[in-house]
Amino acid sequence: MNMYRTRFILIFFIFYGFSIRAQKQYSFNSPNNPCYFQFLCFAPDNDYREGSKPFIFVIGKQGETAADAMQNDTLKNIPQFFSYMFVYIPNRGETSPEKLYCLPALAGLLTYNTYANVFCYIKDESMTVADINASPMGKYFKRVKLLKAPADPMVPTVTDTSNITNNTDLVRDFKADAIIVAGQRAKPLPYLGPPLNFKFTLSGKLVDAYTYEALPFATVAIKGKPIGTVTNADGMFTLLQVPTDTTTLVISYLGYKRTEFQLTPLLNKSSVLIEMEQQLNMITEIKVTAEREDLMAIGGENLGLVKMSPAKLNQLPNIGEKDIMRSFQLMPGVSASNESSSGLYVRGGTPDQNLVLYDGFTVYQVDHLYGFFSAFNSNALKDVQLFKGGFESKFGGRLSSVTEITGKDGNQKNMNIGGDISLLSGNAFVEAPIGKKFTFLGAFRRSYQGLIYNEIFRQYNTQQAQQTGRNNFASTVSSYFYDLNSKLTFRPTKKDILSLSVYNGTDKLDNGRNFTSSSGSFSAQIVDLTKYGNLGGSLKWSRKWNDKIYGNTLLSYSNFYSNRERSNSFSAINGVGAVTTRKFGTFENNDLKDFSFKSDYIFDLFSNHQIGAGVSATYFDILYNYSQNDTSTILNRHNFGVLTSAYLQDKIKIADGKIIFVPGIRASYFSVTSASQPYYYEPRFSATYNITHRLSLKAATGKYYQFANQVVREDILNGNKNFWVLSDGQNVPVGQAIHYVAGISYDMHDYLFSVEGWYKDLSGLTQHTLRFNTSPTHENYSENFYKGTGYSQGLEFLAQKKFGDFSGWVSYTMSKTRSLFNVYSPNYYASDQDVPNEFKIIGIYKWKKFSFSATWIYASGRPYTAPSGAYSLTLLDGTTQSYYTVSSKNSLRLPDYNRLDIAATYQFKNDQGREYGSIGFSIFNLYNRRNVWYKEFQIVDKQIVETNIQYLGITPNITLSLKLR
Amino acid sequence: MKKIIFYLLWVVFVTACKKEAADPEFIDKPVIESYLRSGDTARLNVSRLVSYSANAQYSSDNLDALQIFISTNNTSYQMQPKGNGNYIASNPLLKISAGSIYNVSFTYNGKGVSATTVVPPKPTGYAESVSSISLPQITTSGGGFGGGTQPTPITLTWTNNDGSYYLVVVENIEINPVLINTTETGPSRSFRNSPIQTNTFQIRSRQFHYFGWHRIILYHLNPDYANLYGNSSNNSNNLTNTETGIINGTGIFTGINADTLLLNVIKQ
């Protein structure tokens, strides 16, 4: 066998061919070679492209040439072999070994040594089964047939095919295996025979080829036609009105190879399993909005949809952790200049206006460590998508945008463990199948007080200490963050999936200090403690009822808590030995609980309608307490409320899928405002017009309400803070937005150009400020909530090179976000998050196992308000008091923001080319630009001391990632 | 298609370069300080804001040459400059009286500055629970707290049917007052609490620093004066734009009315 193979490889061969009608003639090797002969190739469909067809070698009768063999062959006329390649071999030599001598070599040549789907049909009556078994033919050919052979099941006899009317057996014998694979592991085997079924419904599931992790929100489309669908959260899809059962599907999923898969009549049309293979050699592919050339209609109706592949994030520069939320900030329309917030500022919206769903439950705060990192561990994530505006009726309760995150279910095939270690944190995960029906995934991450952690912590707290002048105190810093993701998935039947997902993340930031006087009679304790985190979980049941109905029902709990104390307590022992303690400072406690039930259904009842409907109910319990000097409570709110909602939407495709409309309505009942306004209706509408397969126009509009809001508490001297409260319809109104979005995109194979514009009309906004004290002696600070309105408008431009050794994108966003709160000014002023110009350029270059990337960000400075002047008044008791005037609201701007980050990553790959780890080196803020986070002011002797609180300077990081598989 | 893209780009570049007219950081406004006391002459002080910006642009107005008018009952009186920004309405016809509305106006930095106030009525039913208290003198440090029984607080009462603002100011009026706690050095001779909207107030004996006669003044206030309290510390939560009601200016222009009681703090 080895001898054969070695010799074949050494054989020098040449090819030349010319056309004789449909067949092609070739020479195998040079004339003096023992394997020199001429053979014919014949493709009944006249498609001679390499590598995609099964081969049938045909050897004619004793002494027949290749041309004779072809002429006498009737197989080629049978329709089922329409897609095969016939190879006619001359019957050479005298003995069977001589006749078969060179055939494996030729088969190897034609199949690139894969020997996939090669068959042989021998008409030489002198050859026997024993001859075949004695040769290596059986090792290279899938099946060998002898025309006149005994009834041997291994080598079945084939009768004269010229008169066959029922050719089922013949087809079966030469039929290629129905290998349903995608990607490079094995090429899809085409069936190019005549279709047997027309206009049928195809259902299936899309999974990762190695882990069998279901792939959600992938596009499955019919090649060359604007017909397609998107897999649901469990990777399942249903395609209605598939034209024929020989149609080719085109499957795209971010981070995976785009795959074409040809259907055959042999497939089970109700449960096709399609395996997708990750792009092993492709570096980060970040795909924006539109699909590739032949997929324009698919998912393209989702205006402003951005997807990112969590698995590929390690290619981008980072501060210390690959981070999905940070990476989204590199997209047009999402602000990137706010290092201290992992929450997304989308199109003039604030992070609380962005709905973050993790496995179905709402996450109310996504920050770790002052917001430098997000709460999401990318090792536990499978899919993330961001809807930047005009989102569909399925989502509610937010004014701006939606970030939908799907966690991994866990490897269904093998146990896998892995982890990362960086200068910031350690991270480990384990995933495994438990029996045949369960899978488990757990991921844990914890910071350690290494270089980066301390740098960020110092950055924030040293400045605090300087400003308070207390840096001479002994510091007992103990700070960390951790998060834990776990998910147990149970698949009792092929149609049902039950999953329990639990997330817990906590940050503890302690900058407290103690001081004791030398005599021991006096001690002071400075408490500067912030502890916050999330605890959430969901139990989800998904069921594909049949080809046309899919639904999932979810029970969830989400809790966000934040405790902040900045206080000084002084203890003194008085004359009679009693200890007296006095405490000064601020105490803040925010605790939000969300108990939810949701049920969503998708009905694929008609080919041009996809109906979505669902109901949900949420019970809110939101507490906010803010007090000063351990006695005076400034604000103490504890609100409860029930929000119930239902929605109905229809995705209508007309003009052969070129035009898509999605009208929808969402209706909600909010118990808190039941007396004044119990019902809230949110009509929404989006439309897509695919002018050509490259060029499409999209537009969307809709109304949006928000019932739980993060209210900004204005703090001019120390920077604004915010807290969650439930709308009460009075002091804190229900937020409302109307979106108008339109866009145009031109999508070429490698490049994408898109322009999107938006206008958002906002009302029911709330701010809290103590700057205007309407009733100074009242203890009722609820009067200090102020209502306002606003708007945001802008244009986003994107040019992206999607594939190739060099990829990346350039984006520019111009926007204008204005607020109107009469308490500040009768005129509109620039909102806190207003960034008029933002430019981003991201480049990624792949070289062998390395990838190099760089990102550069430029953004206009954000507005702020500052003390502008001082004056003194003599009061009635004769004392003199100083007062301060403040600039017009947000009339000043921080310096413009800019930053360059670079990264290099080396991938470790096994023999199969599969990545099992990487080592990455990145430098954040390469040219050490001291960007300003915010300003703090101290007023000392009528002079103002202004301190720039800066973002991080140059920060290198190294990350090592390894996994078993 | 190309045309559309070029047009859009053109729109972007043109609009992106458009500068918005930003509000200036510092606006030179006059600071007014004027308490119109019933039965008194109208007095007013004008001063300049201190800017935190080195680039502040001040007006060229001379603070001692402003044309300031005070008017009441449709009669306007010009106030006379007395130096250092002080002005007085010396016209004997203008006597501040309770219940009258007063308006002040002048031009500063090219803008009309004006303010209006009303003088509240004199407090009624003002009474104290005792007219004298006895306290021991303290001569050693550290023993000031906790020892001995404290006398009952002095309760002040008055009539307040409309939720008006009142302020109590206690002032030692001895020529040579004697310290209660001899270890203290130079404590203030007066003390006060923030304005309140009740009809009673208690003075604790510990608040007194001196023996002897004290004047206990009860001011009847307008809300704008009350706003001046509790708003001035460096704590940002209290950094307020005090609502002075002065158009194109800041400070205080308010009417007040007061009643006074006496109280003797006797050395035990």
d(CA A536, CA A818): 34
Confidence of residue A603 (pLDDT cuts 50, 70, 90): very high
Q: Residue A285 has what pLDDT?
A: 35
Cβ of A944 within 8 Å of Cβ of B52? The answer is yes
Confidence of residue A939 (pLDDT cuts 50, 70, 90): low
Task: Among A190-199, A584-593, A712-721, A909-918, name the one with the lowest average pLDDT.
Answer: A190-199
Confidence of residue A471 (pLDDT cuts 50, 70, 90): very low
**pLDDT tens, A783-818?**
678 899 999 999 999 998 877 788 888 999 999 999
DSSP state of A76: G
Q: How distant is the Cα of B129 from the closest Cα of chain A, in angstroms?
A: 22
Looking at chain B, the number of H-run helices and the number of E-run strands are: 2, 17
Greatest mean pLDDT among A104-108, A210-214, A360-364, A546-550: A360-364
Helix (H, G, I), strand (E, B) or coil at A687: strand
Higher pLDDT, B186 or B20: B186
Give the nearest partner residue to A885 out of B49, B169, B235, using CB atoms. B49
Q: Residue B19 has what pLDDT?
A: 42
Does residue B256 contact residue B211 with C-beta atoms inside 8 Å? Answer: no
**Amino acid letter, A744:** I
The answer on pLDDT for A90 being more than 60 is yes
Sole residue written with tokens 């997000």? A374
Cβ of A882 within 8 Å of Cβ of B232? The answer is yes
d(CA A442, CA A422): 19
Closest chain B residue by Cα to residue A870: B50
Residue A656 — left, alpha, or beta (φ > 0 → left; ψ -120 to 50 → alpha)?
left
The answer on pLDDT for A287 being more than 50 is no
The answer on pLDDT for A847 being more than 90 is no
Closest C-alpha to A653, from A639, A663, A643: A663
Cβ of B49 within 8 Å of Cβ of A744? The answer is no
Higher pLDDT, A405 or A179: A405
**B247 contacts chain A (CB < 8 A):** no
So what's the ipTM on this one? 0.85
Greatest mean pLDDT among A159-173, A288-302, B181-195, B213-227: B213-227
What is the C-alpha R_g of chain A? 34
Higher pLDDT, A354 or A494: A354
d(CA A649, CA A647): 7
**pLDDT tens, A761-787?**
999 999 888 777 555 444 455 667 889
d(CA A239, CA A385): 22
Higher pLDDT, A770 or A613: A613
Q: How distant is the Cα of B242 from the closest Cα of chain A, in angstroms?
A: 7
Closest C-alpha to A625, from A665, A589, A659: A589
The answer on pLDDT for A541 being more than 90 is yes
**B5 contacts chain A (CB < 8 A):** yes
Q: Residue A818 has what pLDDT?
A: 95
**Amino acid letter, B177:** P
Find the mean pLDDT for residues A186-190.
Answer: 42
123-142 in chain B: CB under 8 A from chain A: 142
Q: How distant is the Cα of A753 from the closest Cα of chain B, in angstroms?
A: 10
Give the nearest partner residue to B237 out of A628, A775, A872, using CB atoms. A628
**A519 contacts chain B (CB < 8 A):** no
The widest CA-to-CA distance across chain A, in whole angstroms, is 129
Helix (H, G, I), strand (E, B) or coil at A4: helix
Find the mean pLDDT for residues B111-137.
Answer: 91
The answer on pLDDT for A470 being more than 70 is no
* B13 phi, psi to nearest 5 deg: -65, -35
Helix (H) or strand (E) holding A306, with range, is strand A305-308
Sole residue written with tokens 């495709």? A653
Helix (H, G, I), strand (E, B) or coil at B84: coil
The answer on pLDDT for A911 being more than 90 is no
Higher pLDDT, A290 or A165: A165
Find the mean pLDDT for residues B154-174.
Answer: 90
Cβ of B239 within 8 Å of Cβ of A874? The answer is no
The answer on pLDDT for B238 being more than 60 is no
Closest C-alpha to A581, from A532, A634, A631: A631
Name the pTM for this structure.
Answer: 0.74
Torsion angle (degrees, nearest 10) of CA A630, A635, A638, A639: -170
Cβ of A795 within 8 Å of Cβ of B8? The answer is yes
Q: How distant is the Cα of A524 from the closest Cα of chain B, in angstroms?
A: 18
Closest chain A residue by Cα to residue B142: A575
Give the nearest partner residue to B22 out of A795, A891, A938, using CB atoms. A891
Confidence of residue A662 (pLDDT cuts 50, 70, 90): very high
Q: Residue A522 has what pLDDT?
A: 65
Q: Residue A533 has what pLDDT?
A: 92
Confidence of residue A414 (pLDDT cuts 50, 70, 90): confident
Cβ of A634 within 8 Å of Cβ of B240? The answer is no
Give the nearest partner residue to B239 out of A717, A795, A836, using CB atoms. A717
Closest C-alpha to A856, from A926, A800, A921: A926
Q: Residue A6 has what pLDDT?
A: 35
Contacts of B234 in chain A (CB under 8 A): 717, 938-939
Give the nearest partner residue to A871 out of B12, B50, B235, using CB atoms. B50
Does residue A392 contact residue A664 with C-beta atoms inside 8 Å? Answer: yes
Cβ of B16 within 8 Å of Cβ of A836? The answer is yes
CB atoms within 10 A of CB B207: 13
Q: Which two tokens stand for residue A468?
A: 């308070």
Q: Which two tokens stand for residue B177?
A: 């007052």
Cβ of B4 within 8 Å of Cβ of A875? The answer is no
Cβ of A777 within 8 Å of Cβ of B195? The answer is yes
The answer on pLDDT for B172 being more than 80 is yes
Closest C-alpha to A208, from A309, A316, A303: A309
Task: Among A140-154, A428-442, A605-619, A849-863, name the one with the lowest average pLDDT.
Answer: A140-154
153-182 in chain B: CB under 8 A from chain A: 165, 167, 169, 171
**A639 contacts chain B (CB < 8 A):** no
CB-count exposure of residue A115 (10 Å: 0-12, 13-18, 19+): middle
Q: Is the CA virtual torsion A722, A727, A731, A735 positive or negative?
A: positive
Closest chain B residue by Cα to residue A873: B33
Q: Residue B17 has what pLDDT?
A: 43
Give the nearest partner residue to A869 out of B51, B165, B231, using CB atoms. B51
**pLDDT tens, A509-521?**
877 766 666 555 5
Higher pLDDT, A292 or A119: A119
Q: Residue A892 has what pLDDT?
A: 87
Does residue A729 contact residue A673 with C-beta atoms inside 8 Å? Answer: yes
Find the mean pLDDT for residues A607-613.
Answer: 89
65-104 in chain B: CB under 8 A from chain A: none
Find the mean pLDDT for residues B137-146.
Answer: 62
Find the mean pLDDT for residues A911-931.
Answer: 86
Closest chain B residue by Cα to residue A769: B237
Q: Residue A305 has what pLDDT?
A: 81
Q: How distant is the Cα of B70 from the closest Cα of chain A, in angstroms?
A: 20
Closest C-alpha to A879, from B169, B46, B43: B169
**pLDDT tens, A714-755?**
887 777 888 899 998 888 999 999 999 999 988 887 788 899
- Three-state secondary structure along A350-388? CHHHEEEEECCEECCCCEEHHHCEECCCHHHEEEEEEEC
Q: Residue A593 has what pLDDT?
A: 95
Helix (H, G, I), strand (E, B) or coil at A122: strand
Helix (H, G, I), strand (E, B) or coil at A669: strand
The answer on pLDDT for A171 being more than 50 is no
Mean pLDDT of chain A: 79
Q: Residue A269 has what pLDDT?
A: 78
Q: How distant is the Cα of A533 from the closest Cα of chain B, in angstroms?
A: 26
Cβ of B240 within 8 Å of Cβ of A772? The answer is yes
**A939 contacts chain B (CB < 8 A):** yes
The answer on pLDDT for A179 being more than 70 is no
Sole residue written with tokens 């999607």? A802
Q: Residue A476 has what pLDDT?
A: 41
CB atoms within 10 A of CB A532: 19
**pLDDT tens, B201-210?**
988 888 889 9
What is the C-alpha R_g of chain B? 26
Q: How distant is the Cα of A869 from the closest Cα of chain B, in angstroms?
A: 4
Per-residue burial over B133-157, b if 16 or more Cβ lie within 10 Å, else e, is bebeebeeeeeeeeeeeeeebbebe
Contacts of A754 in chain B (CB under 8 A): none
Q: Residue A191 has what pLDDT?
A: 55
Q: How distant is the Cα of B171 from the closest Cα of chain A, in angstroms?
A: 8
Find the mean pLDDT for residues A35-43.
Answer: 86
Find the mean pLDDT for residues B168-176.
Answer: 90
CB atoms within 10 A of CB A676: 10
d(CA A515, CA A474): 7
Strands A354-358 and A361-362: antiparallel
The answer on pLDDT for A325 being more than 80 is yes
d(CA A880, CA A745): 65
Q: Residue A954 has what pLDDT?
A: 86
Closest chain B residue by Cα to residue A814: B16
Contacts of A772 in chain B (CB under 8 A): 240-241, 243
**A648 contacts chain B (CB < 8 A):** no
How far, rounded to the nearest angstrom, does the alpha carbon of residue A243 sit from its chain's CA centroid? Answer: 31
Confidence of residue A572 (pLDDT cuts 50, 70, 90): low
536-575 in chain A: CB under 8 A from chain B: 574-575
Q: What percent helix, strand, coil does chain A show, rounded to 5? A: 10, 50, 40
Q: Residue B18 has what pLDDT?
A: 43
How many percent of chain B have pLDDT more than 90? Answer: 37
Cβ of B49 within 8 Å of Cβ of A873? The answer is no
Find the mean pLDDT for residues A10-33.
Answer: 58
The answer on pLDDT for A935 being more than 90 is no
Confidence of residue A210 (pLDDT cuts 50, 70, 90): confident
Q: Which two tokens stand for residue A41?
A: 């190739």
Q: Residue A169 has what pLDDT?
A: 47
d(CA A272, CA A274): 6
Q: Residue A197 has what pLDDT?
A: 80
Q: DSSP assignment of A834-864, as one string?
A: --SEEEEEEEEEEETTEEEEEEEEEEPPPEE
Does residue B255 contact residue B97 with C-beta atoms inside 8 Å? Answer: no
**A464 contacts chain B (CB < 8 A):** no
Strands A721-726 and A708-713: antiparallel
Confidence of residue B23 (pLDDT cuts 50, 70, 90): very low
Q: Residue A503 has what pLDDT?
A: 93
Does residue A141 contact residue A77 with C-beta atoms inside 8 Å? Answer: no
- CA angle, B187 then B192 then B197, to 5°: 170
Residues in chain B: 268
CB atoms within 10 A of CB A813: 25
Q: DSSP assignment of A419-487, as one string?
A: EEE-SSEEEEEEEEEETTTEEEEEEEEEE-SSHHHHHHHHHHHHHHHHHHT-TTSEE----EEEEEEEE
Q: How distant is the Cα of A45 from the closest Cα of chain B, in angstroms?
A: 39
Q: Which two tokens stand for residue A937?
A: 């002011």
